[in-house]
Amino acid sequence: MLDPNQAEQLLRQNKLPRMVQWYNPRLLTRVGIRTIVSSVFGQYADQRLIQAATDPADDKALVERYDYRDPTPESPLDRVALDETGAYYIDYIADTGDGFESTYTTAYLLATDQLKVPGLDKPLPAADTLIMGGDQCYPQATREEYKSRLVTPFSWAYDVEKPERKLFAIPGNHDWYDGLNAFDSLFCAARDRLSEANPTSIGGWQCQQHRSYWALRLPYNWWIWGTDIQFSKYLDAAQVNYFE
């Protein structure tokens, strides 16, 4: 965990990202230009089609991916744990990629073994699966921004030698501003043949997805689907085939 005094000192030295100044005219202009460029080029170089084309999995492997119905595998990365009542938990966050303090606080709470919530009879346990619902990085997705606004605060909040929790993410519009390249590199490294399918870890969470969309099969015949609609436009043909 990060020493609060050290964090305050780094913030004063402007070495940690602050909240994005959304009403700054220069920033709004830059983001607007990025939006136009990404929308235009996204029509001609759709990263989702590239993901499907470079994914080595056959139909059988696609169906068996992310199948967590069996709670008995030894590795926590291969199962969804059930508590003594048979219940399981999923953590969900979205729009996290702003200032360091807010992101670190969110990651710290996620890393905590249990949280006491007013109105509940018992504490909520930490889930072994985390879903990020988009816009993991503001104002625009680059490798540098992902590192400073997401990877670093999450790693400082939950630093473990061997990750035992799973992470799945879907992109928001801000994740698409570079054509989804940085998102794909960070979250979808499991698809990379050159890295021998070694997934990326963000703190105590391991990124297990191969594309920017996925379908988790959970105990009791529950599913969670994560879709990628680019800039709120449509599902590409490869993605439709995947979910079918």
CA–CA separation, 219 vs 93, rounded Å?
21
How deeply is 144 buried, as exposed, middle or buried, from its count of CB atoms within 10 A (0-12, 13-18, 19+)?
A: exposed
Structural domain total, the chain: 1
pLDDT given for residue 25 in this prediction: 83
The answer to whether 107 and 158 are in contact (CB under 8 A) is: yes
Mapped onto helix, strand or coil, the DSSP state of residue 41 is helix
Q: ω into residue 71 within 30 of 0, thus cis?
A: no
Q: CA-CA distances (angstroms) from residue 52 to 66, 140, 232, 236?
A: 17, 24, 20, 10
Mapped onto helix, strand or coil, the DSSP state of residue 33 is helix
Which domain range does residue 32 map to?
A: 4-243
- Note the pLDDT tens digit of each residue in 172-196: 988 988 889 999 999 998 877 554 5
> What's this model's pTM, rounded to 2 decimal places?
0.86
- Note the pLDDT tens digit of each residue in 190-221: 877 554 556 789 999 999 999 999 999 999 99
Which residue positions in the chain have pLDDT lower than 70? 1-15, 34-45, 193-198
Work out the number of other CB atoms within 10 angstroms of the CB of residue 182.
Answer: 22
pLDDT given for residue 166 in this prediction: 96
